[in-house]
Structure 1
Amino acid sequence: MSRFFWVRHGPTHAKTMVGWSDLPADLSDTAQLSRLNAHLPPEALVISSDLSRAAATADSIVGPRTRLPHDPDLREIHFGAWELQRFSDVEDQAHIRTYWENPGDVRPPGGESWHDVVARVDRAVARLIAAHPGRDIVAVAHFGVILTQVQQALQIGAYEAFSHKIENLSVTELTLGAEGWRAGRINHLP
């Protein structure tokens, strides 16, 4: 059995679509970070996206845990030409509406589709499980990344997955057992 504790990075305070832009996390809420650290299993392995907001968050909660190298496959959705824009500022409103309302094969110009993100994150998870079978893994990542795994565990569509809130510094617990993926707490704020 493998347990994943998906942690969303600390807040960036951006009000735009932030995908591969390397904005820093605000990690000033040390009380929340302490509660998060205390909630996570002490013998777990810790991995993060290579974007600084996730890497710095992982470094702030690593504690006694073993830190694994950053994994670029755990990056947020690549928004391409829409990066750092507000939804309402995107010129092609029909395109962006289709992207969010029918997630699947639709891509932002120069970016990734939902299916692209799912395949990328699934590869990373499969590598982690193969390299560390039966271990607890704390994966510090992003909203979209975590939702790809919630979708898989709950066996729901992408649109339904997007209905889940994933707050900054929250924990989403997913377990892989003989019967497949099972969801525990989603968006838990310790």
Structure 2
Amino acid sequence: MAVTRWYWLRHAPLAASALGRIHGAGEAPVDLPAPMRAARIARALPEGMLLVASPLARARDTASVLRPDLTAQIEPGFIEQDFGLWEGRVHAEIEAAEPEAYAAFWRQPARARPPGGERYADVIARVAATVDRISAEADTRPVVVVAHAGVVRAALAQALGLTPEQSISFVVDPLSLTRIDRIQMDDGAVLWRVETVNRPLPTGEDEPC
């Protein structure tokens, strides 16, 4: 039996200038944690980790701030859902310009495809394939992934056998931790154990001004 311990972290919160817009596979600025908070978060993570990050800067930069002593392995399979032609645009602007397409997407956000983009159901498939591959490569090392809300939801879908509609309902806050164990049995069967979902990490509110 081989157990791979997965630590899923959503990246730092979006900067004020990015709020109200759709940010998937495109870049967006974030407010990175101050050094003292970053150090406290890092202490909640395991030693001897394999550090992995989405290719997007908001995930890579968060990983670098948390563990500046490590170089994250960049995994394209853990990029956020691609919203195509809607990337970076304000919700109200899209709704006004494309009311039918916007309404149709939000009626079935787990399976509908935004124009030129990717379905959330497809995100689940690519995340699952990447989890299986890295689990085989990690050996006994715990895997810490800094990625996105959609990616963490997809990991929960794989572990719990959820439909896209069920898993998309999870709340995944910035700088929260979701812990999942992947258990590879000797006969080839794979079992899962979910320890925690969306657990807040240290706030740093007691930092000196």
**TM-score normalised by L of structure 2:** 0.81
- Summarize deviations over 1:5-25 as a string: whole Å, max 9, x none: 001111123221101222232
What SS does the aligned partner of 2:85 have? helix
| Aligned: 1:27 with 2:32 | yes
Query: Within the alignment, does 1:78 sit opposite 2:78 as a pair?
Result: no
Q: 1:48-98 deviations in whole A, cap 9, x for unaligned?
A: 01111100111112266x534211221111000111123333243443444
- CA contact under 8 A between 1:37 and 1:63: conserved in structure 2? no
Deviation at 1:145, TM superposition (A): 0.6
Q: Using structure 1 for the length normalisation, give the TM-score.
A: 0.89
**Corresponding residue of 1:38:** 43
Percent of aligned pairs with the same amino acid? 31
CA contact (8 A) 1:151 1:158 kept: yes
Per the alignment, residue 145 of structure 1 pairs with: 151
1:185 aligns with 2:203: no
Helix, strand or coil at the partner of 2:74: coil
Between Structure 1 and Structure 2, how many residues are aligned? 189
Unaligned runs of 5+ in 1: none
SS at match of 2:73: coil
Which amino acid letter does the alignment assign opposite residue 105 of structure 2?
Y
Contact 2:35 2:65 in 1 (8 A): no
Q: Which amino acid aligns with 1:187?
A: N
Where do 1:1-190 residues align within 5 Å? 1-13=3-15, 14-15=18-19, 16-62=21-67, 67-90=71-94, 91-177=97-183, 178=185, 180-190=191-201
Q: Give, in angstroms, the shift of residue 122 of structure 1.
A: 1.7
Structure 2 counterpart SS, 1:185: strand
Q: Which runs of 5+ in 2 are unaligned?
A: 202-209
1:134 partner letter: T
Structure having the higher Rg = 2
Report the 3-state secondary structure (helix = DSSP H, G, I; strand = E; otherwise coil) of the residue aligned with 1:186: strand
